[in-house]
Amino acid sequence: MCETCGCGDPHLVSVDIQERILSVNDRAAGHNREHFAAHGVLALNLMGSPGSGKTAVLEATARAFAGRCRVAAITGDLETERDAERLRAAGIPARAITTGSACHLDASMVHHALHHESVRGARLLFIENVGNLVCPAVYDLGQAFNVVALAVTEGEDKPLKYPVMFRKADLVLVTKTDLLPHLDVEPGTIDEALRRVMPEPAVYYVSARTGDGLERWFGWLDQQLQAATGPDASHPGHEHSHD
């Protein structure tokens, strides 16, 4: 009943919520993050346009870390397991998430994949997101770092056109640098664009094809692995109870 006049009509109340719309995803991401920390896993969210060279970088990384560190991958694509198959062929156990029409991975999809046999026991876990320079940046997955692949063929102004993705990036891998002689693309211009969208730009120029520049990327991974996992390499899988 109306409290003003007692007329019996319904009345309006305003409820203050002030909550992130993605709070459910944030909680799932927090859960993943706790799991990674508890098991000494370095989880990286690898994003970039379709064809930016994400899978090729991972193939090269798999070869470099073979026998040294257990690497696994979760790959997201709208359809097919092609990326996961490529990674398995390169020696990385990989679990594919086919998202159907969804343009990004979310934290609960990743959580689900973590229970899969193929990614258990990894110390270095790559989450290769759906090829897309917009949507994946919106969803926290529980990763330690966001790594964005940007191919030189995408043009110098991509960072300025897609600032949200690069704002969230901890590291940018400018890929396919072996193609630079054939393009009118200046690395200095890419750097300058990144400085306007990333507060602390960290950028490595690499070619997965020739291997050029990959040592710096591997060095960065080694450094982060040391920080995340410490000297002890052994840890169990993703086994725990859920609320």
Partner 1 sequence: MHEYSLMTALMERVEQEAAAHGALAVHRVRVRIGELSGVEPELLDSAFAIVRAGTICERAALDIERVAARWECSGCRRPLDAGERLQCSACGAPAALAAGGEILLGQIELEVP
Residue 10 interacts with partner 1 (CB under 8 A): yes or no: yes
Rounded to whole angstroms, how far apart are CA atoms 174 and 6?
68
Distance in angstroms between the alpha carbons of the first and the last residue of the chain: 39
Burial 17-26 (b: 16+ CB within 10 A, else e): eeeeeeeebb
Judged by CB under 8 A, the stretch of 57-65, 80-88, 150-158, 163-171 that binds partner 1 is 163-171
Q: Which two tokens stand for residue 137?
A: 């940046």
Residue 161 interacts with partner 1 (CB under 8 A): yes or no: no
Rounded to whole angstroms, how far apart are CA atoms 215 and 234?
25
Residue 24 interacts with partner 1 (CB under 8 A): yes or no: yes
Cα distances (Å, whole numbers) of residue 174 to 147, 183, 237: 11, 14, 33
Cα distances (Å, whole numbers) of residue 168 to 26, 35, 77, 124: 15, 22, 21, 20
Q: x-or-dash pattern for partner 1, window 118-147, by CB under 8 A?
A: ----------------xx-xxx--------
Residue 27 interacts with partner 1 (CB under 8 A): yes or no: no
- Count CB atoms within 10 A of the CB of residue 240: 10
Residue 7 interacts with partner 1 (CB under 8 A): yes or no: no
Q: Which of 4, 5, 7, 20 lies at the binding interface for partner 1 (CB under 8 A)? A: 20
Q: Which of residues 185-204 bind partner 1 (CB under 8 A)?
A: 195-200
Whose Cβ is closer to partner 1: residue 1's or residue 89's?
Answer: 1
- For the bound state, the minimum distance from the C-beta of residue 225 to partner 1, rounded and expressed in Å, comes to 25
Whose Cβ is closer to partner 1: residue 13's or residue 234's?
Answer: 13
- The residues that touch partner 1, with contacts defined as CB under 8 A, are 1, 10-25, 102-104, 106, 134-135, 137-139, 163-165, 167, 195-200
